[in-house]
Structure 1
Amino acid sequence: MARPVAKDYGTKRRLILDRAAQLFADEGFDRTSVSRVALACEISKANVYHYYGSKDEILFDILDAYLSGLRDGIFALQTTLTHVTAQDRFSATITKILLDYQGMDHEHRLQTTVLNHLPPDQQKILLGYQRELVHLMSRLIRDVEPVVFENDPAKLRATTMSVFGMLNWFYMWKPDATGKDRRDYAAHISRLCSGGFAGL
């Protein structure tokens, strides 16, 4: 007979992921042991292994939940923006991204630093989420200025990655940003991208 799932299974699993994300980001993935994760969760090492077979499994689950959730939220937003201008779709999307980054600094840092610790098949899944977001952003940018990017995929990619650069590193210089700060910065990026420096 299969062992019944504990009532607090989801809660405890979420606790492991949250504490591990912080430890992996702050202390380093290689230097953080499963014992250290267990101590931070105030549970036994054996209890951690009840949920995850290895540290790599924990890392994959952290990044899979983060990136798939980010992707799903951004794509769901697009279905609500069918009757607005291309500029408004772009602005709403970068605002959503910044707001969804809030409280996820540890997960965000991990995707840029330790994704290569995972096996190729798992990396492929996670990179797939990232590519979907990049492709969506490229379409939004192209729709704002179709003439500028017509027949110039290199320029479009450079612009797309520049936008993500501005979004992705916001937490480095504004670690305590509020929701208002994030909306203000999204508006700043939108003006910058739509009008260049003159747009500011």
Structure 2
Amino acid sequence: MPRIRADDYDAKYKTILDNAAALFADVGYPNAKMLDIARVCGATKSMLYHYFATKDDLLFALLSEHLERLIADIENALEAAEPAGDRFTHFVELYVQKSAQSRQRHVSAMNDVKFLPPEMQQQIRALEAQAVGLVAAILRGVKPGLADNLYKPYALLLLGMLNWTDLWYDPNGYMPPAELRDRIARLFLDGFLAQPG
């Protein structure tokens, strides 16, 4: 299925994805019409259709672009020349310090994949599985020697915790991003009962 790769984006394409993500997060994917997306982008429907033949194509591009960037970020954390614990903390920091646009895309990734046609869902699920595998590799570095079948469940537990921060965490609120990063890292690595007050 052809799509525009991340390195081929132009400013209008990125603006469409950013505004569509915000709209989907606000009203939900099923309720957003192509006319609504064009309106929030300050564009005509014909300009929108120049980039995306259907709303499904737009959502697919939004989700695949988001996941490809996330995978690249995880790979960078995994390949960093630093101790395994620091790579883990660096990975958590990537999640905590995401931009507002990235948070909106992530909310859409959690909620809207189910609305895509099956063949598109399959491709998005493959990217998600790749991300989970990379997180499992980060955890393997932190605690080698576990049974192989345990790393994926731990990766999913960690990603579940991190994913939900997009729904409640305000980077401008009472807890700065660095503190949240450190608390998540300690909670996951040391356990809740070991947390300082």
**Shift of the alpha carbon at 1:195?**
2.1
Q: Deviations over 1:141-194 (max 9, x none)?
A: 2332234xx22624x33322221122111132223447x822221211222233
- Cα distance, 1:98–1:129 mapped onto 2, change above 3 Å: farther
Map 1:11-50 to 2 at 5 A. Answer: 11-50=11-50
Aligned pair count reads: 186
- Gapped regions of structure 1 (runs ≥ 5): 1-8
**Shift of the alpha carbon at 1:11?**
1.6
Q: TM-score, normalised by structure 2?
A: 0.83
CA distance in 1, matches of 2:69, 2:63: 10
Counterpart for residue 91 of structure 1: 89
Structure 2 residue aligned with 1:164, among 159, 163, 181? 159
Q: TM-score, normalised by structure 1?
A: 0.82
CA distance in 1, matches of 2:99, 2:164: 11
Please say if 1:187 is aligned against 2:182: yes
CA distance in 2, matches of 1:157, 1:11: 37
CA distance in 1, matches of 2:74, 2:147: 26
Matched residue type, 2:68: S
Counterpart for residue 5 of structure 2: none
Identity of aligned residues (%): 28
Contact 1:137 1:160 in 2 (8 A): yes
Counterpart for residue 73 of structure 2: 73
Contact 2:93 2:181 in 1 (8 A): yes
**Shift of the alpha carbon at 1:102?**
4.8
- For residue 146 of structure 1, give the secondary structure of its aligned residue in structure 2: coil
The structure with the larger Rg is 1
Contact 1:74 1:97 in 2 (8 A): no
Matched residue type, 2:186: R
RMSD of aligned residue pairs (Cα, Å): 2.2
CA distance in 1, matches of 2:26, 2:90: 31
Matched residue type, 1:42: G
**Shift of the alpha carbon at 1:138?**
1.5
> Structure 1: which 4+ aligned runs deviate by more than 6 Å?
none
**Shift of the alpha carbon at 1:110?**
0.8
Counterpart for residue 147 of structure 2: 151
